Structure 1
Amino acid sequence: MPSSIGIHLDTCDGQRLPRTLASAIAERLRGEILTAVLLPGQKLHIAILAKRFSVSLAAVREALSRLVTDGIVQSLDQRGFRVSPVSSADLRDLTRTRIEIEGLALRRAMAEGGPEWEAAVESAFAALSVLPRLGAEQPERHNEAWASQHRRFHQALVGACGSAWLLRLRHVLYEQSERYRRLSIPLETRERDVEAEHLRLMEAALARDESAALAALAEHFQRTTDIILAADVALLREPLAA
């Protein structure tokens, strides 16, 4: 069965679906969740998604299962899937945990990283700095090219930490934080110099100044959280039914 996302489906019963197909569907859904096309708490009906993407039910189910692993989709016992809800309590907990986990990864990267790590961090920062953060036509939304490079910059900072498990945990936390971070953009009441925050973080990391780097990291993450909490977003206050 040809897919509307440009991939062909293996129709043999009982066979695992091609990774490329499930990955492509997962990435489409991930993008729609991060940009709030699919809202927190929204039910994800497998049959509807399969029809929209012109793929099998099994293809959608596998894609959703992958997003469950990343924490941005929830599996409901006997009731399918939904976009993971958001809340102020979850945001606070997530931010504290991310600061601790990413801080540990950054400390290890500063201790272990050599010239290649330094060059990767500087290159990622340079590429990020030349991109506009907000969309030209929709200034309340990210420029997606910036968002992709922003991900690479933060990955580069911890890339030399030497722990696959730590990087996996950090990835899950990043995915969750990305949903909240995008919520903060239209809520900013004064100009935020994100590039200066990144520069401070990079310079401290490359200088191996652990206390300054960890402080810059924590303040960078916390500022986004504070913006959202100060705005008292209704979505974070209203209970979402399972």
Structure 2
Amino acid sequence: MPTSAKTRTDEVLDRLRTDILGGRFAPGERLKFAPLCQVYDVSVGLLREVLSRLAEQGLVLASPQVGFQVTPISVEDLLDLTRTRMDIEGLALRRGIERGDMAWRARLVAAHFTLANTQRRNEEDPTRVTPEWEAAHTDFHDALLAGCESRRLYAIATALRTSACLYRRWSEAIDATDAARDPAQEHATILQYTIDGDADAAVAALADHIELTTTLIVAARE
């Protein structure tokens, strides 16, 4: 029984997370229990657990007055999130380079190979990336953070990256970023510096990668 209950919770969590990131629910929109229970065919208790876990990931906001809602977005919050990501993810990557073993580097190379060989743009809607590329992109960045050998640092860095997904999905700049950047080269540069053990250069390349996304989002919203 516990196993099946956990599996069902994870299934609904994945579905609701995908729907939020896919734009089915807008930033700031209230997430009401009655219609959500019907849509996802779940109990109030299970839905509350799912929403609480999404709140931990930064995709949902819980407040006494409003209840649960999709996390609102703003330029001010994005800038704060970006600065924090640069600090935390940079620290995690630096520790990984200092402490990571051969298995960690092998995982990085494998994750980058998959990312580099996965179609990025959706043929039916070129303003969106494919789910396969999004998954490969997440796996590559997750691999970058995983070598830090700190459960808490890794959890914080991962939560910040998840929060940033909301901005990437809702960015009006997403269809213009290809003309202003070369994501494939950015990822390759980060990987090369990391494999070479050049922590300063790798952290700087990762910071530039994170900051450029924010710069393009802010520019598109002005």
TM-score normalised by the chain length of structure 1: 0.86
Q: Which residue is equivalent to 1:50?
A: 37
Q: Which residue is equivalent to 1:100?
A: 87
**Which structure: larger Rg?**
1
* One-letter code aligned to 2:99: E
Cα RMSD for the two superposed structures: 1.8
1:183-202 alignment, distance < 5 Å? 183=171, 184-188=173-177, 190-202=179-191
Q: Which residue is equivalent to 2:199?
A: 210
* One-letter code aligned to 1:43: R
Give the distance between the partners of 1:121 and 1:189, measured in 2 at CA: 24
Runs of at least 5 residues in structure 2 that lack an aligned partner in the other structure = none
Maintained 8 Å contact 1:187/1:228? no
Maintained 8 Å contact 2:145/2:157? no
Q: Of the candidates 100, 112, 121, which is equivalent to residue 125 of structure 1? A: 112
Q: From the two aligned structures, give the one with the greater helix fraction.
A: 2
Q: Of the candidates 73, 86, 95, which is equivalent to residue 73 of structure 2? A: 86
Give the distance between the partners of 1:208 and 1:130, measured in 2 at CA: 24
User: Relative contact order (C-alpha < 8 Å, sep 6+): which is higher?
Assistant: 2
Aligned pair 1:139/2:153, yes or no? Answer: no
Maintained 8 Å contact 2:30/2:66? no
Per-residue CA deviation, residues 169-219 of structure 1 (Å, 9 max, x unaligned), is: 011101011111232412437252100000000000111111211110011
Structure 1 residue 223: Cα displacement: 0.6
1:17-36 alignment, distance < 5 Å? 18-36=5-23
Per-residue CA deviation, residues 97-122 of structure 1 (Å, 9 max, x unaligned), is: 00000000000000011211111100
TM-score normalised by the chain length of structure 2: 0.94
Give the distance between the partners of 2:81 and 2:37, measured in 1 at CA: 32
Percent of residue pairs identical: 38
Structure 1 residue 125: Cα displacement: 0.3
* One-letter code aligned to 2:221: D
Size of the aligned set, in residue pairs, is 220
Structure 1 residue 80: Cα displacement: 2.1
